[in-house]
Structure 1
Amino acid sequence: MVYGETARSGSVAVVIPAFNEQDTVGEVVRAGLTLTPDVVVVSDGSSDATAQVAREAGARVVDLAQNAGKGPALLAALRATDAEFVVLLDADLVGVTRAHLDLLLEPVQRGELDMSIGVFDGGGFVSDWGNKLTPHLSGQRACRRAWLLAVPHLGRERWPEPAITAHLKETGARWGYVELPQVAQVVKERKRGFWRGARARTKMYADLMTFWARRRR
Structure 2
Amino acid sequence: MKTPPTIAVVIPAYNEEQHVGAVVQAALLLTPQVVVASDGSRDATAQVARDAGAQVVELTQNVGKGPALFAALQATQAEYVVMLDADLVGLQLEHLESLLRPVLDGQLDMAIGIFDGGGLMTDFGNKMTPHLSGQRACRRDWLLAVPHLGEERWPEPAITDALKGSGVRWDYVELPNLAQVMKEEKHGFWKGVGHRSRMYVNLLGYKRRKRKSIKLKEERHS
The TM-score with structure 2 as length reference comes to 0.93
Q: Counterpart of 2:16?
A: 21
SS at match of 2:141: helix
Give yes or no for the alignment of 1:36 onto 2:36: no
Tell me how large the CA RMSD over aligned residues is.
Answer: 0.9
Q: Counterpart of 1:147?
A: 142
Q: Counterpart of 2:86?
A: 91
**How far apart, CA to CA, are the structure 2 residues paired with 1:213 and 1:133?**
23
Q: Counterpart of 1:182?
A: 177
**How far apart, CA to CA, are the structure 2 residues paired with 1:215 and 1:55?**
36
SS at match of 2:27: helix
SS at match of 1:177: strand
Asked whether the 8 Å contact 1:152–1:167 carries over to 2, the reply is yes
One-letter amino acid of the structure 1 residue matched with residue 124 of structure 2: W
Q: Counterpart of 1:5?
A: none
SS at match of 1:15: strand
**How far apart, CA to CA, are the structure 2 residues paired with 1:169 and 1:141?**
16
Q: What is the Cα deviation at residue 127 of structure 1?
A: 0.3
Divergent runs of 4+, >6 A: none
Asked whether the 8 Å contact 1:31–1:98 carries over to 2, the reply is yes
Asked whether the 8 Å contact 1:18–1:42 carries over to 2, the reply is yes
Computing the radius of gyration from Cα coordinates, the structure with the larger value is: 2
The percentage of aligned residue pairs carrying the same residue is 66
Give yes or no for the alignment of 1:156 onto 2:133: no
Asked whether the 8 Å contact 1:9–1:83 carries over to 2, the reply is no
Aligned partner of 2:43 among 37, 44, 48:
48
**How far apart, CA to CA, are the structure 2 residues paired with 1:64 and 1:194?**
28
Asked whether the 8 Å contact 1:9–1:84 carries over to 2, the reply is no
Q: What is the Cα deviation at residue 194 of structure 1?
A: 1.1
How do 1:94-173 residues align onto structure 2 when only pairs under 5 Å count?
A: 94-173=89-168
Per-residue CA distance 1:60-116 (angstroms, 9 max, x = gap): 000111000000000000000000000000000000110000000000001110100
**How far apart, CA to CA, are the structure 1 residues paired with 2:43 and 2:103?**
35
Q: Counterpart of 2:220?
A: none
**How far apart, CA to CA, are the structure 1 residues paired with 2:179 and 2:4?**
32
**How far apart, CA to CA, are the structure 1 residues paired with 2:51 and 2:209?**
39
Q: Counterpart of 1:61?
A: 56
Q: What is the Cα deviation at residue 9 of structure 1?
A: 6.4
Give yes or no for the alignment of 1:212 onto 2:190: no
Give the gaps of 5 or more residues in structure 2.
Answer: 213-222
Give the gaps of 5 or more residues in structure 1.
Answer: 1-7
SS at match of 1:16: strand
How do 1:197-208 residues align onto structure 2 when only pairs under 5 Å count?
A: 197-208=192-203
**How far apart, CA to CA, are the structure 1 residues paired with 2:64 and 2:174?**
26
SS at match of 1:47: coil
Per-residue CA distance 1:154-190 (angstroms, 9 max, x = gap): 1000000000000011100100000000000000011
**How far apart, CA to CA, are the structure 2 residues paired with 1:210 and 1:173?**
24
